[in-house]
Structure 1
Amino acid sequence: MINVTIWNEFVHENKDAAVKAVYPNGIHTALSQGIQHDDFNIRTATLDEPEHGLTEETLNQTDVLIWWGHVAHDRVSDEVVARVKQRVLDGMGLIVLHSGHFSKPFKALMGTSCDLKWREAEEQEIIWNVNPSHPIAEGIGEKIILDHEEMYGEFFDIPTPDEIVFISNFEGGEVFRSGCTFRRGRGKIFYFRPGHETHPTYFHPGVLKVIANGVRWACPAPGEKLQFGHAPQPVRKFAKGSAV
């Protein structure tokens, strides 16, 4: 069983009628229902909960954390950000969705601005599968077509990804590295671009399948916690001054 925590700031849905019409119970609820599988144990957390719902106990029990944020990045506690970052370094998987590219945890783990070009418009996005043998792309086919999405365009200021799984193109001619993987410490990170709050993207079966595949890929492998710091002196094989 994979323990999944879905984090959503849950701000748009409470303030914007257009977003509430698409996600009346929140993006986190749509994701929870959309990716539910027998091998997933899913909980949700939101910004206004104590410690943003990401207590040490919760994170210690989380195999994979899914993150969606947009207008309240600055309201996320630095203490919680440090906690999330350390859990990733210790092995927790992290899936960052859409505007979560500008979230504090993602920027802390990438070490760059994570900035990009964008255009909020009603235009088609084609998400091309450019790494079909990758586990995240399993069962996706050559592309996913979204009739209406927000445009993200290059340059995307991230470190060179370990792998690029998907590349998107938009009606305006822009392209974007829309599915990228990274490794930090023992943790695996997957950034997946689609998911603007005014579009029903998180009801699309292809998008949901990618996210579910990402959860399984990012799930930590068994192994001991990495050890750093001072190492003890080695045991000498021969007494000092003895002949070899």
Structure 2
Amino acid sequence: MSERLRVIVWNEFRHERDEESIREVYPQGIHAAIASGLQEMDPDLEVSVATLDEPEHGLSEERLERCDVLFWWGHMAHGEVADAVVDRVQKRVLEGMGLVALHSAHYAKIFKRLLGTTCSLTWREADERERLWVCNPGHPIARGIDRCIELEREEMYGEPFGIPAPDEQVFISWFEGGEVFRSGNCYYRGNGRIFYFRPGHEAYPTYFDPQIKRALANAARWAAPAGGRWVDECPNVTEPREPIGKSR
């Protein structure tokens, strides 16, 4: 049996409430679809959800303390995320909590802060076919996935993508209009692991695709804490481990 991981799926939950066409695709919300897919693919995940309009955005210190991996979907309300919540999420990532940033979360406050760049890109919404090519087949996030994932309709994201060079790249996308995009990127920050995964525009049923669900479940396992917690401190160590100057 796999280790039981505690996962939170966070979502703005604005498009689904405000737009009927989006609600038809995700009647329970994008977060619910992602959570259901994770539990389907990996029953040993303990998955809960949180949304923007809950107190503290559903991400209190106590709840984050119990979280192993946080999934983040955001788009239209990045600016409404309180800096205090961003601070505590950043602290937990540096301590070892995993973060999986999805689709438009490239512009989320927490993602830009952890990467330290603008995270800008080009985009077009035109019902295009997307192929996510596996460029690192030995990576744990690619386990059980064929040479590519093909999505009949998605929003295009294109280069240049204003991110630091990934520590590991798992997927690269090709779009029907000709663009390519670094769509599956891994980073290490402090003691934590971060995975950015591009697919998931709210107008398309991307999160119901079996291969997408498999990639997300794999990402949860990859991003899980490894080793002990890293504590952010800068102590003045006055007592050396070895006597200084005695062996000279």
TM-score for both structures, normalised by structure 2: 0.94
Corresponding residue of 2:153: 148
- 2:81 paired residue among 76, 83, 90: 76
Deviation at 1:233, TM superposition (A): 3.0
Deviation at 1:121, TM superposition (A): 1.0
Corresponding residue of 1:6: 9
Corresponding residue of 1:15: 18
**1:234 and 2:240 matched:** yes
Corresponding residue of 1:184: 189
* Structure 1 range deviating more: 92-101 or 35-44: 35-44
SS at match of 1:222: coil
Deviation per residue, 1:33-67 (Å, 9 max, x gap): 11102210011000000000000011000000000
State the distance in 1 between where 2:94 and 2:31 align: 24
Corresponding residue of 2:59: 54
Corresponding residue of 1:225: 230
Deviation per residue, 1:206-231 (Å, 9 max, x gap): 00100000000000013142454122
State the distance in 2 between where 1:192 and 1:128 align: 13
CA gap 1:235/1:126 in 2 versus in 1, 3 angstroms: closer
CA gap 1:224/1:107 in 2 versus in 1, 3 angstroms: closer
Corresponding residue of 2:100: 95
State the distance in 1 between where 2:12 and 2:173 align: 25
RMSD (Å), alpha carbons: 1.4
8 Å Cα contact 2:190-2:230 kept in structure 1: no
Corresponding residue of 1:132: 137
State the distance in 2 between where 1:243 and 1:226 align: 33
CA gap 1:195/1:236 in 2 versus in 1, 3 angstroms: closer
State the distance in 1 between where 2:115 and 2:201 align: 22
Unaligned runs of 5+ in 2: none
State the distance in 1 between where 2:238 and 2:222 align: 36
How many residues align? The count is 242
SS at match of 1:215: helix
State the distance in 2 between where 1:74 and 1:175 align: 28
CA gap 1:50/1:145 in 2 versus in 1, 3 angstroms: same
Unaligned runs of 5+ in 1: none
State the distance in 1 between where 2:191 and 2:63 align: 19
Query: Which structure: larger Rg?
Result: 1
Deviation at 1:235, TM superposition (A): 4.7
State the distance in 2 between where 1:173 and 1:231 align: 57
Identity over aligned pairs, percent? 55
TM-score for both structures, normalised by structure 1: 0.96
Deviation at 1:141, TM superposition (A): 1.1
Runs of 4+ in 1 over 6 A off after TM superposition: none
CA gap 1:237/1:88 in 2 versus in 1, 3 angstroms: same
8 Å Cα contact 2:100-2:219 kept in structure 1: yes
SS at match of 2:141: helix
Q: Counterparts in 2 of 1:105-120, with a 5 A limit? A: 105-120=110-125
State the distance in 1 between where 2:20 and 2:247 align: 84
Corresponding residue of 1:86: 91
